[in-house]
Each structure stands twice: as structure tokens, then as C-alpha cells.
Structure 1
């Protein structure tokens, strides 16, 4: 029987199928950048239509495009810290987290976002040094472009960085380029630099303390379920109180002014109410659960979902104004033809920030979400709860002490704190070793062997490569954004002069 197979034709058909598959994969990879580009173009067109009668319309359109690009990058990098622990602990799926964060981030920005911002972000530069409109607009545009590019690069390498620090670096670099080193308020920069250390250490310490409490009073108890019925409502009440104070202090500044003592009273009241409400709920949820750690995780799932939503709302209310502040300053200066000490943020500018952050999160956020939630250290609902609670409490403490802190550094520092504490606790805790040695193995009549110290030392629970990458990114954010902004200033000032 003749051989009807045609090897050459088969090879050609295989090559065509491989090309089609590769083209399809490449096409899917270009969908997100394509949607982002459409969003940037739409924002530029909307700015042109809204500000068509204003002087320097072309500059405003360009600034709106850059502002939209900045907002996309903030969504891709900064917002992921709010939902990463909940996703990494499997308290909710990635898609659920993306939707919750996008909705609450936008709501926080549009409902409670700050409506007034200093034209020189956080008093970093002397306003008199950039008093002319051309110099000022060039400085703000350079700061916006440099910070957006730096955050984009950080997202690409998988490093969560502080948006505020990137903008601060951009404003500082442009100010130095425009008026020299004497224009910079170095005490303010010193306090910001101090926050690089304060934020992650404070966040990590608080998260580690709560994890130590959970391990001591719930996990390593003979009757875990009884211990959970007693302490989980208390922990949820503490979380509710912390978030109530956090939102009152930082998230609702536009709607109502609340001082620290009042916010703490609100937190105490909210915590007591929630504690009373959840006690019977936890009792019902824990009924019939097996006496093991896996059962405990179900009791922390819903608080994590709520914390992700509240953190996203507070971030939108508190940080979006910082992100679009340079854009608002450019629009205001171009419109008035002069530099003023305070500018109001127009609704369309706030919308660019709010929706840009949401789109950035949906299109590009999963990479940083996976980094924070899964790749630094393994998280379960109890550990993720400690991270979320630490974020709220650290902001309250820092606000009371007047310390500038970064929400990104707090959240990631809390993840580090949980991981490093577990390394220490696993190796050195007498309570844990006593508990483990009392547990029978599968045969039911022998105790588990305790790992020797050398073997335990090799079991690093925090990935050192990710740790070093993130720390390096934190250290270089301000100087890198400053250097890039200073170089861009000289280009932009010539273009708009």
C-alpha cells in the first residue's frame, strides 16, 4: 500500500499552527496595553473638550494624558497592597479582589477624596523658587512624567513602591533643576526619608505581635475551636475599631474634619458594637468544626474581605489627590496664568485619577497582587488578617505622632514581619515545640520528631531575593525619580517656553 503521508506538507502545517498560536498569545498580551492606551487618549480628548476655552489647551491635554498614565501605574502597583494579602490567603479570588478594589478605590476618590492640594507637593520646594507659570508647569509636568515612569518600571520588575515617594522625588528633582539645591525644604525631605525605615518596621512589628497573640491564644491550644470562639470576636472587634478610626481620621477628610481623640472614640464604639454582633455569628460558624488549624481559617475569611474593601476606600480617599495633584496644579496654572499657593482639584481631574487607578488595577494589578500575597511569604487568613490590621493601626499611630508614613511600605513591611516572625517562632518557640511533640503521628502512638536547628535554619519562610529587590526599590525610588525629573525638566521647559 503506498505511503500517502507528505512529510513536507505536514511540517509546513505544523509551522503555520505554531505561528498562529504564537500570534494569538502575543495578541492577548497586547490587549491590556491597548485598553490602557485607549483610556489615555480618551482622557486627553475629554480634557481638550472640557478646557477648550482655556489658555494653553495643548499643555492641558498633554498633562491629562500623562496624568491618566500615572493613574494607571498607581493602580497597577500601589492598590495591589490592599488586596494582595486577602488573595494570597485565598480568602477571596483574584477577580473578586480586583472588582472590590476597583469599586471602593473609585468610591473613595470621588466621594471622600481631598479637594484641595498644595501646588508644591507637601512643601518640598520653596514656592518662590518656581514662581513663574512656565517654570512651575514644567516642574510639575516633569514630576508627573518621572514618577509615572518609575512606578511603571517598578511594576515591571515586580517591586511594590510608594507612589507618594515617587511624586516627592519627582517634585524635588524638578525643583533642584529649576532653582538649585537651596530650593528644597531639606527638613521635610529628612522626615520623608525617615519614613522609609519607620513605615515597614512599625507595620512589621505590629503584624508580628498580632500573629504571636493568635498563635499563643488560639492555634497552639488544646481546644482550638473553644479558644477561637472566645478570641476571634475580640480580634474582629479590634479590626473594626481600627478601621473606623482610620477612615474617620484619614479617609473622610473632605466630608468632615475629625481630630485624633474623636477618631479614637469612634473606633472604640465601633469595635464594641462589632464585637457584640459577631460573637453569636462566630459561635454558629464554629459549631461542628474540627479541632484543627484549617477550621480556624474559615472564621477569618469575611473580615479579610471587609478589610480589603475598607483599605481600598481609604486609599482612594487619601492618596488619589496626591497622585493627581501635579495635574490639577498644571491645569489651574494654565487656566489662570499664575501660580497660586492652593488649587482645587476639578471633578474631571479627580475622575481621571479614580478611573485610571481602577483600570490600572484591573489590567496590570495581578502581578503585584501575586508578589505581595504569595511570593514574599506564604499567607493564610490568620496571617493576612495581621497584615491588614497592622496597616490600619500603623497609620493611626503615625498620624498621632505626626510621622509621614507610606501605606505601601506599611503593608509590605507587615508581610515581611509576619514571615520573619514565623521563621523565628518555628525555630525557637518552646510553646510550639511542646505542642508539636504532644501530637501523635498517623500511627497514633508516636510523637513527631523535632527538626534539628541546622535543618530549621535552612527553611527560610521569606524569599530573600524578593526581599532584597523590594528594599532596593524603596531605597532608590526618591533619588531615581528626582534624577529623571531633573533631566526631563530641561526638555519640557524648552517645549512650553
Structure 2
């Protein structure tokens, strides 16, 4: 049997529903070649604890075995299967009680409950101690002002924590759901890129959240009232997000904070306190952005079906398409977020150079990891088989037959890499967009408290942006797995190709919205799926 490489979430999921598990004794990485096979029969409940989240069971238990090894055991030893099922039912109650004793973070990261508790305590202590060393605390100001500034930073952290617990799943849920990233890898990736996006692009949308929702003149000379209203908006939005995250509901943090601020403005100043033209611009993006995301995702996946799945050699076609997608993504990020010059021609040349470098790097990685399979598929180069049934078309949809066997594993291998890159793209865009939901009201409240400035005069310090990034990462680590399970598995059954199409489309739209100063994000990914 030809060696193959396990990247399909559907195949992995089907494997976990069987009672007989055959693993290779040698543990290899997901893309490594497997020259020989020696199988070891394991009984499921004795070896791996039951998990309540299928998305975490997929990657959290360390299953990275070639599908060919699983397929060879199919249909053998029926009596062993029956005995394994009996053992499963016998120990089911005990396994459930053991799982219930573990906190959620312990299950998610496959660590002990003591370690999970220690991590939670460390995060809580850091949240209490770090503000004492921030320049935005108001060094040199009276103690009362510093105490209120400290409380304001904690309110902002609470909102950012809930954004991480709920909204970061939109960036990483599809990658975890399809098996391209483990939850631990997703958290580490998000930690770096959420920070980067918040620091480099967070000010674009934050300015909209500060001066684009409420009319500052209505609150002229009433700084104390405006300060209290901003804190109440953070508390109200954060509370609702925490409830939604507890139940695993993916909701829009932008809707929460904008609605809270509008509610405060209406309660105090009536309709005249709300900047309706700016609010209409923001809310229109909630309708337009999901539609654009759905269209882009449809076109991306349609191109994959047309130029990869239906190609004569799908593996070679996927390897050729990957550098093109990377070139487009890296060029877009470089031009939007890292322009070295204000001159358009120079900035575009720099972005094109970065995109070309990224495409070359990805092409080399793919050729190195999958080169032997690509060479084998190129030598075989089978003739297209005649259709055994007439093709069916329903509108834009068609029943194009996908690749099978080694070709399928090559395609999933390539798009496994591509989905990781698209997750990075998405996480960066998310950090630049949604950190504003916590940092905008926080920075405005700090500025009013410490200097009495109006929202139009606010300059956002870098330490406040970093504080928001830390809160997002902390929320992702402690509660993010709840919504990741919903995004990754309960909306659409994802494969690497579907996940890549959804993330690439959503990240492109979110990055564009961030550049235009429009707060938007979660609905884009839902529509893209």
C-alpha cells in the first residue's frame, strides 16, 4: 500500500469512532515518510481519556498517524471489536467522572488540573501587578487619580480578556477544527500575531471607537459622567461576552461595545448624543463585510475545486497554487501594515518583494516535505478516467470528483501548510481590528481621568495597546477553547481546503476593514464558512 499522510479532519474523525485502534510503534511527524509498519493494538478507553470536545480530541491527544495505517485494520478481528465496545461501556461512567474532575483548561491543553490552576493564578497575578509599572497609570499624579487609573486598566483588561475568550476563536477555530494546528500551537501563534496586529494596526479602528460613536460636545464639562459611562460600557459588554463564552456562543464583541456606548449616550443625552452618521458607517460594515467575505470565500474555494481538484494531477496543482496564494496574502499585509514609505510606488515595491520572498520560502518548504510524493505523482501522471456518471450542476455548484489516495494526501498536506499561514494572516488582522473594542473606551477614560482632554485629542500609548494584547491572549488561554469548538466543528465540517478558503477570505476583508477604520470581524468568518 502506498504511504500517505494524515491531514484530513473527516478521516481522523471517522477513525476515532472506531473501537479498534492500530498505531505504529514509531512516532513520526505528520509529513515524514513511513518506510515500515508494525502495528500495536490498543484499547481506546485504557489508553486515551474521553474528551467532551471532539475538536480537542482530534489534536490534543497527539494523534498524528498516517491514514494508511488506520485503513489496513479496517474490517479485521470482529470479535476484538465487540470486546472493546463492551469494555468501553463498562468503563464509561468512570471515565466521565474522571473528566469532570478536570477544569476546562486542563482538558484543552492536556495538562494536569494543578498545572492549569497554576497558570490561571499566574495570569491573575500578572493582571493585578503589571498595571503598577505602566506609564499610563499616571506616574506623578495624586493617589486618587492613580487608583482610578488602576481600576480603569482592570476594566479594560476584563473586556480584552473576554475578547480573547470569544473572538480569537474566529481567527484560530478553523485551523484547530481541521487539524492544521493543535490548540497549544494556536495559542502560541495567536499570542505573537495578536500582539503584532494590536501594536501595528490597533490605532486605526481605536480612533473610530473613541470619537466616532458619541458626540463629544454633549459631554463638554462633564468629564466625570463620561468617564463613568465609558467604564460602564466596558463592564456591560464584558459581562455579556463572558456569559456567551461560558456557553460557547460566538458573538460579536464589536456589537457588544458599540451597543453599550450607544445605550449610555441615549440614556444621558438622548438621540443628540450619538454620532448617527458615523454609527451608520460602522453598522453598514456589519452587513457589507459578511457578504464580501462569503463571496471571496466562495470564489477561493471555487478556484480550488476548478484548478486543483479537477486538475489532471491535483497534487502538483496544489503545490503550484500555494506560492501564488502566499504571494497575494503577504503582499497585502506588507502594503497595508508595514509600508516603509508614504510614496505608493515605493511601498508597493516593498510589498511585492516581501510577497515574492514569502512565496519562494513556502514553495521550498512544500517541496522539501512532500517532494518524494510529488515526484512519484509526476512520474505516474495518470490519464484522466472517463466519467461513470453524468455530471450534475445546480447553479454555481457542481459535483466535481476530488482527488483520492496519495493525491488527496498531497493536496491536504499542501493546504495544511496554507491554512496555518492563513490562520497567521487572520490572527494579525484580528489583533489590529478587535483590540480597539477594549482599548478605545479604555484610552478615552484614562485620558479624561488624567488630563481632562476630549476624546478627539487622545493619543493611544503603546503600553495600553500591549495591555489589550495581553488581555486577549490571557482570555484565549483560559476560556478560548469553548468557542473554538463551535467555530471549528459545529458550523461546517472543515477540511484544510475549506478552512483555508474561509480564513483567507475573512482575513482579507478584516484587514481591509481595519485599514478603513471599520470595526468588524466575527460575522465575516461565519459567512465565509
Give 1:91 deviation, angstroms: 1.2
Gap change, CA 1:366 and 1:22, over 3 Å in 2: closer
Q: How many residues align?
A: 391
Gap change, CA 1:258 and 1:411, over 3 Å in 2: farther
| Pairs within 5 Å for 1:92-103 | 92-103=181-192
8 Å Cα contact 1:125/1:175 also seen in 2: yes
Aligned to 1:346: 461
8 Å Cα contact 1:91/1:302 also seen in 2: yes
Gap change, CA 1:211 and 1:133, over 3 Å in 2: same
Aligned to 1:483: none
C-alpha distance in 1, partners of 2:130/2:341? Answer: 30
CA deviation map 1:429-473 (0-9, x unaligned):
xxxxxxxxxxxxxxxxxxxxxxxxxxxxxxxxxxxxxxxxxxxxx
Give structure 2 stretches of 5+ with no counterpart.
1-93, 104-112, 378-404
- Verify: 1:183 aligned to 2:273, yes or no: yes
RMSD over aligned Cα atoms: 3.5
CA deviation map 1:329-361 (0-9, x unaligned):
111111113435221223432232121111111
C-alpha distance in 1, partners of 2:191/2:514? Answer: 26
Gap change, CA 1:316 and 1:227, over 3 Å in 2: closer
| Pairs within 5 Å for 1:132-171 | 132-171=222-261
C-alpha distance in 1, partners of 2:135/2:507? Answer: 39
**Structure number having the greater helix percentage:** 1
- Verify: 1:287 aligned to 2:361, yes or no: no
Aligned to 1:407: 521
CA deviation map 1:308-341 (0-9, x unaligned):
2233233324442442121121111111134352
Gap change, CA 1:152 and 1:305, over 3 Å in 2: same
TM-score by length of 2: 0.65
- Verify: 1:376 aligned to 2:463, yes or no: no
Gap change, CA 1:150 and 1:266, over 3 Å in 2: farther
Give 1:24 deviation, angstroms: 4.8
CA deviation map 1:187-221 (0-9, x unaligned):
22223222222222211221111111111222134
8 Å Cα contact 1:68/1:352 also seen in 2: yes
| Pairs within 5 Å for 1:351-430 | 351-395=466-510, 404=518, 406-415=520-529
Give 1:142 deviation, angstroms: 1.4
Gap change, CA 1:119 and 1:404, over 3 Å in 2: closer
Helix, strand or coil at the partner of 2:203:
coil
Higher relative contact order (CA 8 A, sep 6+): 1
C-alpha distance in 2, partners of 1:299/1:114? Answer: 35
Helix, strand or coil at the partner of 1:306:
helix
C-alpha distance in 1, partners of 2:418/2:208? Answer: 39
Aligned to 2:335: 248
| Pairs within 5 Å for 1:204-223 | 204-223=294-313
8 Å Cα contact 2:177/2:485 also seen in 1: yes
TM-score by length of 1: 0.69
8 Å Cα contact 1:241/1:267 also seen in 2: no
Helix, strand or coil at the partner of 2:458:
strand
8 Å Cα contact 1:89/1:381 also seen in 2: yes
C-alpha distance in 2, partners of 1:177/1:391? Answer: 35
Aligned to 1:308: 423
Gap change, CA 1:47 and 1:275, over 3 Å in 2: closer
C-alpha distance in 1, partners of 2:500/2:358? Answer: 16
C-alpha distance in 1, partners of 2:476/2:233? Answer: 22
- Verify: 1:125 aligned to 2:240, yes or no: no
Give structure 1 stretches of 5+ with no counterpart.
1-16, 416-497
- Verify: 1:42 aligned to 2:118, yes or no: no
8 Å Cα contact 2:434/2:520 also seen in 1: no
Give 1:386 deviation, angstroms: 0.7
Aligned to 2:170: 81
| Pairs within 5 Å for 1:224-235 | 224-229=314-319, 231-233=320-322
Aligned to 1:457: none
